[in-house]
Amino acid sequence: MKNRIQQKFPTLPGFNPRGNPGSEEDVMINRIKQKFVELKKWQKKAFIAYIAAGDPNLGTTVELVKAFDQAGVDIVELGVPFSDPLADGTTIQMASQRALKQGVTINKILQIVQRIRQTSQIPIALMTYYNPIFHYGLAAFLKKARQAGVDGVIVPDLPPEEGQDLIREAKKFDLATVFFISPTTQVHRMARIAKASTGFVYYVSVTGITGARQILPKELIENIKKAKRLTDKPICVGFGVSTPEQVKQLSQAADGVIVGSAIIKQIEKHRGKKDLIKSVSRFVQELAKPLRTHER
């Protein structure tokens, strides 16, 4: 049985269970994995910001990511727009629509990652629905993504059972593959999902779609702790998180907190204004602050 599971969800590079130092895999270190090693050393938690690439335009995305690097963001998730984002609430749906109207494509997003890499080494994951990358060709996409400076991929409509091709190809390029655990995930699946994930595991806070929420489920902290007992990999929690208080509360149990819609709402609010970058990064700084209080 154990063998079968291992075959299905092979162990991925960077997570050498025996911890052999100096193995070949450690040479080409992945920025996301590296980040969690550092954070662990300093006993800190990750603040992860999601924005839709190309909302309101690609130039702004570049500036935002650079500003986030200075504002206390540990990892950036760049959303690849898709015509049918069925795991997303209205905020991200509309951001995707705006990006698509700008003519944003995978190639254009990879170009801006390259631009960001000229001045910033902030870890970047692409969050994309499966069809655009499947249509692009998984191997070609992952190779180009790695070359451009992407560190991981997150695919919300791809459970590990269907993700074997992605996992195999991503392994070749040492790209992290982040899979999801949700409140409805049964315990026996949690371990398998964690095993298939590299970089971190994405814990979905609510039974639902993305979008800022006032109140998060009571049992959330307990559930994250439960998941943490099943894996050594970092667990980051997202969906619905929108305030510094929620960030603080969740960081007690999780290794990182992800905020998306709340940031996009700020981008929406300041669209077309000169102070967009400044205002949004100030907002992000406030969100990240609870994780930055005990400075090194």
Partner 1 sequence: MKTFPDKHGHFGEFGGQFVPETLMSCLADLKKAFATLRKQKAFQQELAHYLNDYAGRPTKLYFAERLSQKFKNLKIYLKREDLLHTGAHKINNTLGQILLAKHMGKTRIIAETGAGQHGVATATVSALFGLKCQIYMGQQDMERQALNVFRMQLLGATVVPVTSGSQTLKDAMNEAIRDWVTNVRDTFYIIGSVAGPHPYPLIVREFQSIIGREARMQFLLKEKKLPDYLVACVGGGSNAMGLFHAFYQDHRVQMIGVEAAGRGVNTDHHSATLSSGSIGVLHGSKSELLQTKDGQIRIAHSIAAGLDYPGVGPEHAYYKKIGRARYESVTDQEALSGLKLLSETEGIIPALESSHAIFYLTKMNRQVKKKSSVIVCLSGRGDKDMHTVREKLLK
Active site residue 77: yes
CB of 107 vs partner 1, minimal distance in Å: 9
Q: Does 193 contact partner 1 by CB under 8 A?
A: yes
How many whole angstroms separate alpha carbon 293 and alpha carbon 81?
Answer: 34
The two tokens of residue 247 are 């960030």
Q: Does 16 bind partner 1 (CB under 8 A)?
A: no
Could you tell me which of 290, 248, 242 has the C-alpha nearest to residue 266? Answer: 242
Rounded Cα gap, residues 176 and 74, in angstroms: 15
Known catalytic membership, residue 88:
yes
Beta carbons within 10 angstroms of residue 16's beta carbon: 13
Q: Where are the beta strands (DSSP E) in 83-215?
A: 124-127, 152-154, 176-178, 180-181, 201-204
Any contact of residue 158 with partner 1 (CB under 8 A)? yes
Task: Choose the catalytic residue: 55, 74, 77, 151.
Answer: 77
Residue written as token pair 């204004």? 273
E runs forming strands in 30-157:
46-52, 75-79, 124-127, 152-154
User: Could you say which of 26, 38, 161, 219 contacts partner 1 (CB under 8 A)?
Assistant: 161
Q: How far is CA 275 from CA 49, 115, 272, in A?
A: 19, 22, 9
Q: At what angle are helices 106-117 and 138-148 packed, to 10 degrees?
A: 20
Q: How far is the CB of 190 from partner 1 (least distance, A)?
A: 10
CB of 88 to partner 1, least distance (A): 8
Q: Is 217 in the site for partner 1 (CB under 8 A)?
A: no
Q: Which of 55, 69, 74, 88 is catalytic?
A: 88
d(CA 290, CA 254): 13
- Considering the rule CB under 8 A, would residue 204 count as an interface residue with partner 1? yes
Fill in the per-residue mask, 125 to 154: x = in contact with partner 1 (CB under 8 A), - = not in contact: ----xxxxxxxx------------------
Report the nearest approach of partner 1 to the CB of residue 173 (Å): 20
226 contributes a contact to partner 1 by CB under 8 A:
no
Tell whether the torsion through CA atoms of 256, 260, 262 and 267 is positive or negative: positive
Binding flag, residue 181, partner 1 (CB under 8 A): yes
- State yes or no: residue 116 binds partner 1 (CB under 8 A): no
Asked whether the beta carbons of 33 and 40 are under 8 A apart, the reply is no
x-or-dash string of contact with partner 1, 81-100, rule CB under 8 A: -xxxxxxxx---x------x
Q: Which of 152, 156, 234, 238 binds partner 1 (CB under 8 A)?
A: 156
Which of 3, 43, 184, 293 forms a contact with partner 1 (CB under 8 A)? 184
Q: Which residues are catalytic?
A: 77, 88
Q: Which residues bind partner 1 (CB under 8 A)?
A: 82-89, 93, 100, 105-106, 129-136, 156-159, 161-162, 179-186, 189, 193, 204, 207-209
